[in-house]
Structure formats: structure tokens, C-alpha cells
């Protein structure tokens, strides 16, 4: 089977940098200690009022295409993973296609919340592997959650942030490189625990009985905090068994970047050194479906990824959706 590989990456965060002190002043309480010690967040980026999610995608996509040596005219498909789209309909991917001038590319959005990028990467790899007409696929994770803040909820506003990460997916130079195995899982009993619940058919935004805050991000119930710390190791071992590898063979781990303690717990459970988990929360906060591609692109910018590295990618998000993947990196960054 022909394998798919990441051939180039890109990252973008809006220019508006917000440091922890902003929240300490706004809420008249010391936020800095908790955000640094419990979340590893020192600052984050918020989009401007006139920016939409598609505007965050374009710079990240341009960087990814440049690094892969292609242009928008070479794209065959654009997949945007987001739960903060420009519109409910049409797709944000269609907006991106138009703004980029990627006239040959088909488009669609994909929503598995913060597991979206890994899910979209899995979908793209299967297009490459099974259909020779697809040669260059742009896969994006993008997040504009600041537009959905309830500013009365300091626990949300101080953690969540905006950004985009992009990857160009192509055929691997040989079958020893690229996506080796993947797995998707969902614990749907958590579907009503967190999300943006107004604006769809269940609670139309035009329904006057819907409370004004229903269209904002809500945590209606508390997801067990140990969920990721337990599930990520299980998924890691599941994937590594499929590719006949061990934890010690993995060079890099990229996790959903919402809680540094969950990452520490997961790494301890599998017996891997924490330095193998590349984190960007300190600079970018929590960027949902964008955090994993942003972390990968950030590691690439830092020249951490080397040809032949075994990479584990583990995403989780509302739903409760989870996605895991092992891939063999195909070039030096």
C-alpha cells in the first residue's frame, strides 16, 4: 500500500498577544500562578474583530506549501478541521480555496472538535493511499474560539486561544516513511459535557427560548480529569503494537495541548521522558483543533524533526472524540 507523508508544515497565530497579567487585572485575582503551574500557559493569541477562521488558515497554509515546494494551484484537496468555522454553511474550506486561488482543489470541513486535525490527517492519508488522482492535500487545524467566549468564565477565557496549523500531505518517498497506523475512537456519552450548543437544529439561534449564552462555549458537566492521562497511553500502546514498535522507539509525541498535567501523566504511564513531548502552550495557550499541527510546525521550525523519526500524534476533544496516529517522518527539518 502506498503511504502518505507530511511534506511541509506551517503555523500562524494572530498578532494580538495577551499575557496572563491581563486576566489577573480583568478578574481581580492572581491568575498567573495557576496558568503557569497547572496549564503551562504564559501568553496566548486572540484574533481581531475583523478576522475569521479562514484568515488564520491562509498564512499557515502558505508556509506549509512553501516548505513542501508547491503552490495553491497544485492542491487537489483542502480539508479544514475546525469547530469554529466561518459559517455553519458553506464550508470554511471553500472560503480558503477561493482566497488562495486553489482552483483545482476539492474542499470539505471536518469536525471532531479538538481531535480534528489528526482525524483529517488520517482521512487525507487514505485519499493519497487509495486514489492516484490525489497528489497534494492541504490539511488544516484551525481555531477561533475567542469569538465564542463567555467573558464571565475566567477558567475558559484564560486558557483558550486562536491559531492555525497546516500540513501538506503527499505520497511518501518509500513505504518505510509516512503514516504507519491510526485509530479513531469516541466516548459519545460525553457529547453534552462541553461545546457550543446553539446555532444548529437542536437549538436554532433564532429560537427566542434559547438563552443568550447558549451560542457560547460551555462546560455543562465535568469530564473526568484523568480521561486523557489514561486514554492516551492506551491508544499509544494500541498503535505501537500495530507497527511492531515500542515506546522507546518513539522520538516525538504530539498531544492535544489543553492540560500539561495530562501530558505529564500520559508520559509517566508509558515510561517516556517528558522532553519527547513537544509543547507550545506556554506561548500559544490552548488552540483546540489547531494545537497539534501548530506544535508539529513549531518543532519543524526548531529543526527537531529528523528523517526516520517515529512520531506519535494523539488528539482528543469534545464528543469525546479521540484520534491517534504513528508516522515515520520523511525529511530533515
- Going residue by residue through the chain (333 aa), what tens digit of pLDDT does each one get? 799 999 999 999 999 999 999 999 999 999 999 999 889 999 999 999 999 999 999 999 999 999 999 999 999 999 999 999 999 999 999 999 999 999 999 999 999 999 999 999 999 999 999 999 999 999 999 999 999 999 999 999 999 999 999 999 999 999 999 999 999 999 888 888 888 888 888 778 776 666 555 678 887 777 776 688 889 999 999 999 999 999 999 999 999 998 899 999 999 999 999 999 999 999 999 999 999 999 999 999 999 999 999 999 999 988 889 999 999 999 999
Looking at the structure, tell me whether residues 60 and 144 fall in a common domain.
yes
Q: Is residue 68 part of a domain?
A: yes
Angle at CA of residue 200, ends 160 and 88, nearest 5°: 70
End-to-end CA distance of the chain: 26
Q: What is the rounded CA–CA span in Å between residue 45 and residue 66?
A: 24
Looking at the structure, tell me whether residues 122 and 266 fall in a common domain.
no
Looking at the structure, tell me whether residues 26 and 156 fall in a common domain.
yes
**Domain of residue 68, CATH code:** 3.40.47.10
Spatial CB neighbours of 96, under 8 Å, sequence gap ≥ 6: 54, 57, 58, 61, 78, 80, 102, 107, 140
Looking at the structure, tell me whether residues 134 and 83 fall in a common domain.
yes
Tell me how many domains the chain contains.
2
Tell me which of 148, 171, 194 is where a domain ends: 171
Q: What is the rounded CA–CA span in Å between residue 78 and residue 6?
A: 14
Q: Is residue 100 part of a domain?
A: yes
Q: Is residue 211 part of a domain?
A: yes
Instruction: List, as own/partner pairs, every contact residues 261-269 make where C-beta atoms lie below 8 angstroms and the sequence separation is at least 24, other chains included.
Output: 261/38, 261/229, 262/225, 262/226, 262/228, 262/229, 262/232, 265/226, 265/228, 265/229, 266/228, 266/229, 266/232, 266/233, 266/236, 266/314, 269/229, 269/230, 269/233
Q: Could you tell me the residue range of the domain that residue 82 belongs to?
A: 4-171
Q: Is residue 302 part of a domain?
A: yes
Q: Is residue 60 part of a domain?
A: yes
Looking at the structure, tell me whether residues 130 and 107 fall in a common domain.
yes
Tell me which of 125, 154, 171 is where a domain ends: 171
Is residue 256 within 8 A of residue 229, CB to CB? The reply is no
Q: Is residue 333 part of a domain?
A: no
Looking at the structure, tell me whether residues 43 and 167 fall in a common domain.
yes
Looking at the structure, tell me whether residues 183 and 149 fall in a common domain.
no
Q: What is the rounded CA–CA span in Å between residue 28 and residue 5?
A: 48
Q: What is the rounded CA–CA span in Å between residue 174 and residue 132?
A: 15
What value does the CA radius of gyration of the chain take, rounded to a whole number of Å? 19
Q: Is residue 24 part of a domain?
A: yes
Exposure pattern of 201-228 as b/e (b: 16+ CB <10 Å)?
eebeeeeeebeeeebbbbeeeeeeeeeb
Q: Could you write out the DSSP letters of every residue in 49-91?
A: TT--HHHHHHHHHHHHHHHHT--GGG-SEEEEE-SS-S-SSS-
Q: What is the rounded CA–CA span in Å between residue 145 and residue 135?
A: 32
Of 330, 121, 326, the C-alpha closest to 242 is: 326
Looking at the structure, tell me whether residues 30 and 142 fall in a common domain.
yes
Q: What is the pLDDT of residue 23?
A: 96
Spatial CB neighbours of 40, under 8 Å, sequence gap ≥ 6: 260, 279, 281, 282
Looking at the structure, tell me whether residues 149 and 192 fall in a common domain.
no
Q: What is the pLDDT of residue 199?
A: 82
Tell me which of 171, 201, 224 is where a domain ends: 171
Looking at the structure, tell me whether residues 166 and 214 fall in a common domain.
no
**CA atoms within 13 Å, Cβ hemisphere of 159:** 17
Q: What is the pLDDT of residue 210?
A: 60
Q: Is residue 306 part of a domain?
A: yes
Looking at the structure, tell me whether residues 163 and 217 fall in a common domain.
no
pTM: 0.95
Looking at the structure, tell me whether residues 221 and 83 fall in a common domain.
no
Omega prior to 147 cis, within 30 of 0: no
Amino acid at each position: 500500500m502506498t503511504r502518505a507523508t507530511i511534506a511541509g508544515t506551517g503555523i500562524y497565530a494572530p498578532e494580538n498577544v495577551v499575557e496572563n497579567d491581563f486576566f489577573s487585572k480583568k478578574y481581580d485575582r492572581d491568575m498567573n500562578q495557576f496558568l503557569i503551574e497547572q496549564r503551562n500557559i504564559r501568553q496566548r493569541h486572540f484574533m481581531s474583530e475583523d478576522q475569521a477562521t479562514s484568515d488564520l488558515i491562509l498564512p499557515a497554509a502558505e508556509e506549509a506549501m512553501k516548505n513542501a515546494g508547491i503552490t495553491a494551484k497544485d492542491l487537489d484537496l483542502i480539508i479544514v478541521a475546525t469547530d469554529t468555522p466561518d459559517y455553519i454553511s458553506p464550508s470554511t474550506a471553500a472560503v480558503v480555496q477561493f482566497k488562495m486561488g486553489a482552483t483545482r482543489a476539492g474542499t470539505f470541513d471536518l469536525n471532531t472538535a479538538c481531535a480534528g486535525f489528526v482525524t483529517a490527517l488520517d482521512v487525507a492519508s487514505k485519499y493519497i493511499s487509495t486514489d492516484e488522482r490525489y497528489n497534494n492535500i492541504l490539511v488544516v487545524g484551525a481555531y477561533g474560539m475567542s469569538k465564542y467566549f463567555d467573558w464571565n468564565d475566567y477558567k475558559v477565557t484564560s486558557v483558550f486561544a486562536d491559531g492555525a496549523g497546516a500540513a501538506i500531505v503527499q505520497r511518501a518517498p518509500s513505504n518505510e516513511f509516512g503514516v504507519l497506523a491510526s485509530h479513531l475512537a469516541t466516548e459519545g456519552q460525553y457529547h453534552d459535557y462541553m461545546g457550543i450548543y446553539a446555532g444548529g437544529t437542536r437549538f436554532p439561534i433564532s429560537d427566542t427560548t434559547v438563552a443568550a449564552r447558549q451560542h457560547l462555549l460551555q462546560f455543562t458537566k465535568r469530564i473526568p480529569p484523568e480521561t486523557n492521562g489514561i486514554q492516551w497511553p492506551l491508544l499509544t500502546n494500541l498503535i505501537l503494537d500495530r507497527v511492531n514498535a515500542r515506546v522507546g522507539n518513539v522520538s516525538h509525541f504530539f498531544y492535544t495541548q489543553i492540560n500539561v498535567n495530562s501530558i505529564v501523566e500520559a508520559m509517566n504511564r508509558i515510561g517516556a521522558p517528558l522532553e519527547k513531548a513537544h509543547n507550545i502552550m506556554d506561548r500559544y495557550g490552548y488552540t483546540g483543533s489547531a494545537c497539534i499541527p501548530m506544535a508539529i510546525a513549531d518543532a519543524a521550525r526548531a529543526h527537531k524533526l529528523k528523517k526516520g523519526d517515529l512520531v506519535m500524534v494523539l488528539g482528543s476533544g469534545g464528543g469525546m472524540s479521540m484520534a491517534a496516529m504513528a508516522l515515520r517522518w520523511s525529511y530533515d527539518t
